[in-house]
Amino acid sequence: MHIILVSDRLATARSVRVGVGHLALAGLAFLGLMVGATVGLTYLAIQHAAEIKHPALQALVRSAQEQQARRSEDYVRQNLSVMAVKLGEMQAQLTRLDALGERLGSAAGIKPSELKFAEVPGRGGALVTSPAPRDIGIDELRQHLDAMAKQMEWHTEHLGMIEGSMVESRAKARQLPTSLPVAGTWRASGFGWRIDPITGQAAVHEGIDFIAESGTPIRAAAAGVVAFAGYHPTYGNLVEVDHGGGLLTRYAHASKLLVKQGEFVKRGAVIAKVGTTGRSTGSHLHFEVRQNGKALNPTPFLRGGEKAALAAVEGKSVSKAKRRTSKSK
């Protein structure tokens, strides 16, 4: 298409050739101008609709606001659903932590009332106003919940490992001979060098002797398996209890044996009766602790058990004295 330009300022007429491409560009430019103008007018109308008070514009503003409110509500609802699921997981983990804490507290001798799992710990402090406090957004709150859930999961696993270690330690402790073998604390002879009561010579005593009347129950100092129960020329009627790991206890000079070889006995189980059989000058219990065949001093093993036994004996004496006092009154 040719366009001829004629003007008084032009000496001659000019011809301009306009192609299809030029027309398309011009159309697009005009369309863009119209769209921009429409968007601008709409924006201005929405911004100033409250001032203009035009019903159509106000209806348009309300519609836009309602759409925005619905989008915000959907966004909040979705995030709340996610946080509710996370909160449920954290509550389940808290239940596990409470159970673990109670078991560990019980194993450590802590009363449940002292732990106060169900109570919220007291917190406080001054409110710092610089920089100014700010509200926590949903996304930030969700990040905090995720981080807290990971920490709780780690703490649960850590407490589980501690519990397993404590259970293993308690199992090993039950195999140590820390319980008194007889209900008596006076010892006629200790561990180590002494004057032999029969020969009068200096000799090593590989155990300790408890003075007790004949027939007094002899109890296992720890749980184990009876390795030997029979007569020995020196020890007389003898019981040996294997506690595992090469640890063994001996109970000698018994008047009567109450267990057999291969039998499992618990801590405190009556295994024999005190007597004076074998190489003995009177009724007593000869008690030994051996590790891989080597004699060990039983006193460090029994020290804790002896204190408990003394407390029990003192408690019985006090209760008997009270009963006698009440009867006399």
* Mean pLDDT, residues 236-261 taken together: 94
Contact 230, 267 (CB under 8 A): no
pTM of the model: 0.48
pLDDT of residue 57: 58
- Two structure tokens written together for 67: 């759409």
Among 220, 212, 228, 183, smallest CA distance to 276 is for 212
Q: How confident is the model at residue 316 (pLDDT cuts 50, 70, 90)?
A: very low
Q: Cβ contacts of residue 327 below 8 Å, gap of 6+?
A: none
Residue type at 156 in one-letter notation: T
Q: Compute CA 283 distance to the chain's CA centroid, rounded to the nearest angstrom.
A: 51
- Two structure tokens written together for 129: 């106003």
Q: Structurally, what CATH architecture does the domain formed by 187-328 represent?
A: Distorted Sandwich (2.70)
Is the confidence at residue 231, as pLDDT, over 80? Answer: yes
pLDDT of residue 304: 61
List the chain domain ranges. Answer: 187-328
* Mean pLDDT, residues 82-106 taken together: 72
SS3 (DSSP) at 220 = coil
- Separation CA 117–CA 105 (nearest Å): 11
For the stretch 252-290, pLDDT in tens is 999 999 999 999 999 999 999 999 999 888 899 999 999
Q: How confident is the model at residue 245 (pLDDT cuts 50, 70, 90)?
A: confident
pLDDT of residue 228: 96
* Average predicted confidence (pLDDT) for the chain: 75
* Mean pLDDT, residues 91-116 taken together: 68
Residue type at 131 in one-letter notation: P
